[in-house]
Structure 1
């Protein structure tokens, strides 16, 4: 067993595979930290979770995620709340957490920054969100939890086999718009319950998800708080207009949209499967808590 090594979780299909050729250079850059580099093998999300946890138990000095927010989400489960370094090499279609915490967009520069941080013994602390469902299942997330229309779209797209690529997601949007209805929610913020009807509910540790969709444009992953968004019913036409506004975060100017902050959030509704960092969590209800400084980011 080799202790004090750098464990690397790399997703070869991230970013539609366009970064695959960069992995040898990334590993070489990480190696300049003066520690052995170990690539973790995983054929599924569950295996990725297990590989990262095993690496930490074996004495990894740092876990590095090479990929997008999904890969980051998997790797985070093993280091959240622990004194283990965490690095991100952005190589996905969506790199929202990396952008929010100041990681360089260039994968090689990001890897060089991780190595330098390990050599110099420095890190930056950032908040994470921790979820708890009614079955006692806990997960951490770094960017945004979706509990409304966008979660329904994700769930439908994941059930579809065709078409492949982005068109499947676009088709899922159209199919969910056709059956759009506002749903009754109970959203409890730091113990205060709000009963509302909405198509959109989201909780953010960071501003964006889905590769730059700024659902919660003022969210700060270092303020010890979660940003929470919900809206009065918008209807199909305004929901169709929402996507381009999300790119700039201008949807929050709509008087029907409410954004607030809390340390603890509970979301209750029927028929919604929640997603965080683009990964499936499970059906509502779900509780979310901000844990300040939960990750030691190397950059």
Structure 2
């Protein structure tokens, strides 16, 4: 594996007709799309571009493989998997002109849906191949998170910083049961412990302090496989959508949860919505999740970065 040079992230024009790197997660979607990878690779190779499959067996290795491929001069990167796979690719590509293609093959494919890739993996591969042949890409925004010590993460979808993040943290600490039942059990455990927490926000410098059980900061509209938590979010408007669920009790939260799939929860009297370019967010004892992946502990500053990522669309 190549070492990443100091200027690997520096903007530079990708080589015309340069190699296409493919980052694939064979376990995405619990393996149900494993068989599509050979066909995706075939369709990409039909563009007459060299195609390189990146080897990575952990999330950290996936990020390193993407950074190394970028330093080696790839012309494009294709992520085959869900939002977690895309999240790893974005850490390398943010702020560079090297475009990303997304083949949605995961449990949650919210970024792909929010940015217009076809839901069918092979249809998405065809769309990406067409963009490669035409040397076509378009820019979308990303969100950049920064912690107090300077740690930085990028995300394309939604940052969860409330009950949803707490449930994810609980589920990730549990060893049993396996599969989706672990997440369901984590919801039950955290519902029993539900309490509003004190949040302090600054939205483009304007202070906001309140008690809440849900705080989401969206570049795109949905997370969790179609839950439209920030239904008005647009990844091309240069803004972040902030949706806050206030002092919900257990019963009210359970009743409101199905409305998130439709995006109508924002009409609830305990829910408020805001838009800002920069969001400063503080609360005690919260580890955030971005694109469904464990991210930074609060406090964080989230900034919308217009046109930070190019997509093969």
TM-score bracket relative to the smaller structure: over 0.9
Partner secondary structure for residue 34 of structure 1: coil
Are residues 1:197 and 2:180 paired?
no
Are residues 1:261 and 2:275 paired?
yes
Alpha-carbon distance, 1:85 to partner: 1.1
Match of 2:39 in 1: 25
Are residues 1:51 and 2:36 paired?
no
Query: How far apart are the structure 1 equivalents of 2:209 and 2:39?
Result: 52
4+ aligned runs moved over 4 Å, structure 1: none
Query: Matched residue pairs, number?
Result: 298
Per-residue Cα deviation, 1:158-213 (whole angstroms, up to 9, x for no partner): 00011111110010001001111101110110011101111111100001001001
Are residues 1:179 and 2:179 paired?
no
Partner secondary structure for residue 189 of structure 2: helix
Query: How far apart are the structure 1 equivalents of 2:225 and 2:51?
Result: 29
Equivalent residue for 1:169, pick from 170, 183, 193: 183
Equivalent residue for 1:283, pick from 288, 297, 310: 297
Alpha-carbon distance, 1:143 to partner: 0.4
Alpha-carbon distance, 1:118 to partner: 1.4
Per-residue Cα deviation, 1:197-237 (whole angstroms, up to 9, x for no partner): 11111100001001001101111111110000113201111
Alpha-carbon distance, 1:242 to partner: 2.6
Query: How far apart are the structure 2 equivalents of 1:129 and 1:34?
Result: 34
Query: How far apart are the structure 2 equivalents of 1:282 and 1:179?
Result: 22
Equivalent residue for 1:79, pick from 77, 84, 93: 93
Alpha-carbon distance, 1:16 to partner: 1.0
Per-residue Cα deviation, 1:73-129 (whole angstroms, up to 9, x for no partner): 001111111010110000001100110111011111111211211111111111110
Query: How far apart are the structure 1 equivalents of 2:75 and 2:89?
Result: 14
Are residues 1:88 and 2:94 paired?
no
Match of 1:136 in 2: 150
Match of 2:115 in 1: 101
Unaligned runs of 5+ in 2: 3-14
Partner secondary structure for residue 270 of structure 1: coil
Match of 1:231 in 2: 245
Query: How far apart are the structure 1 equivalents of 2:118 and 2:21?
Result: 20
Partner secondary structure for residue 35 of structure 2: helix
Match of 2:265 in 1: 251
Query: How far apart are the structure 1 equivalents of 2:69 and 2:169?
Result: 31
Query: How far apart are the structure 2 equivalents of 1:77 and 1:117?
Result: 22
For 1:108-119, list aligned pairs within 5 A.
108-119=122-133
Unaligned runs of 5+ in 1: none
Query: How far apart are the structure 1 equivalents of 2:250 and 2:149?
Result: 34
Partner secondary structure for residue 223 of structure 1: coil
| Cα RMSD, aligned residues only | 1.0
Partner secondary structure for residue 20 of structure 1: coil
Partner secondary structure for residue 67 of structure 2: helix
Partner secondary structure for residue 145 of structure 2: strand
Query: How far apart are the structure 1 equivalents of 2:296 and 2:238?
Result: 25
Deviates more, 1:237-246 or 1:60-69: 237-246
Match of 2:48 in 1: 34
TM normalised by structure 2 equals 0.93
Match of 2:82 in 1: 68
Are residues 1:151 and 2:134 paired?
no
